[in-house]
Amino acid sequence: AQRVTQPEKLLSVFKGAPVELKCNYSYSGSPELFWYVQYSRQRLQLLLRHISRESIKGFTADLNKGETSFHLKKPFAQEEDSAMYYCALSGERGSNYKLTFGKGTLLTVNP
Amino acid sequence: DTGVSQNPRHKITKRGQNVTFRCDPISEHNRLYWYRQTLGQGPEFLTYFQNEAQLEKSRLLSDRFSAERPKGSFSTLEIQRTEQGDSAMYLCASSETTGITYNEQFFGPGTRLTVL
């Protein structure tokens, strides 16, 4: 069974501080990993995916297969980063359908 | 086309009543997904369609739940004999199908169901 664990429900940092949102997964094959974000009163949207290896809004995430982790990092947090962040997993490339989400981490960036 | 739309946005019903939700995906997307999100949890997969074919249903989708996508465009999710445990946000998402690369799922705003 596939599972995603986000150990922190809440994370609070000050503006300009580094931030790391943790995500661990359980999956027997080669999953696709994603971070989704939901800003206040907005719909859920894709932030980044591991296969693209890109930085979005200053966030990066590296897939560590040995530790089965996909932590989201940003060196200098901004107030506009305050949101709910969900780590999600999908099956092998090509299966391409259902997402399994973690419970989410609410990030608050204080001024 | 302003993205995935869902109606109604809110629904309050009494236990035992039937409810139906509608999802209109992005027009060129042939995959459509339903998820359910309860308080403090991430979205949980319910079912998905490729065009009009329903290809997978989660164990979460009891006999009281039925979903359709009759012409491969909009979809409906019906809950019969609602229970208080059905209270949740019901999310719809759609995506394209192109090759083997991941196709981003675009989410709607959700329908919040409250069963009294």
Q: What is the pLDDT of residues A49-70, one digit of tens each?
A: 887 778 889 999 988 989 999 9
* Average pLDDT across chain B, whole number: 92
Q: What is the pLDDT of residue B99?
A: 62
Q: What is the pLDDT of residue A98?
A: 86
Question: Judged by CB atoms within 8 Å, which residues 10-69 of A form the interface with B?
Answer: 32, 34, 43-46, 49, 51
> How would residue A96 be classed by pLDDT, with cut points 50, 70 and 90?
low
Q: Tell me: the pLDDT tens digits for B58-112?
A: 888 889 999 999 988 999 999 999 999 999 999 999 998 766 566 789 999 999 9
> Which range, of A13-22, A74-83, A94-103, averages the lowest pLDDT?
A94-103
Q: What percent of chain B has pLDDT over 90?
A: 78
Q: What percent of chain A has pLDDT over 90?
A: 73
User: Which is more confident, B16 or A30?
Assistant: B16
Identity of the amino acid at B23 = C
CA A45 – CA A74 distance, rounded (Å): 18
The answer to whether B32 and B72 are in contact (CB under 8 A) is no
Q: Using the beta-carbon criterion (under 8 Å), do A99 and B105 form an inter-chain contact?
A: yes
Class of residue A40 by CB neighbours under 10 A (exposed 0-12, middle 13-18, buried 19+) = exposed
CA distances (Å), origin B35, targets A63, A100, A104, B111: 25, 10, 15, 11
Q: Residues of A with CB below 8 A from B31's CB?
A: 97
Q: What percent of chain A has pLDDT over 70?
A: 95
The answer to whether B71 and B90 are in contact (CB under 8 A) is no
Chain B residues with at least one Cβ partner in A under 8 Å? 3-4, 31, 33, 35, 40-45, 48, 55-56, 58, 91, 97, 100-110
Question: CA of A44: which chain B residue's CA is closest?
Answer: B107
Q: Which of A36, A41, A97 to mutate to test the interface with B (most CBs of B within 10 A)?
A: A97
> Taking residues B21-50, what's their average pLDDT?
94
Q: What is the pLDDT of residue A50?
A: 83
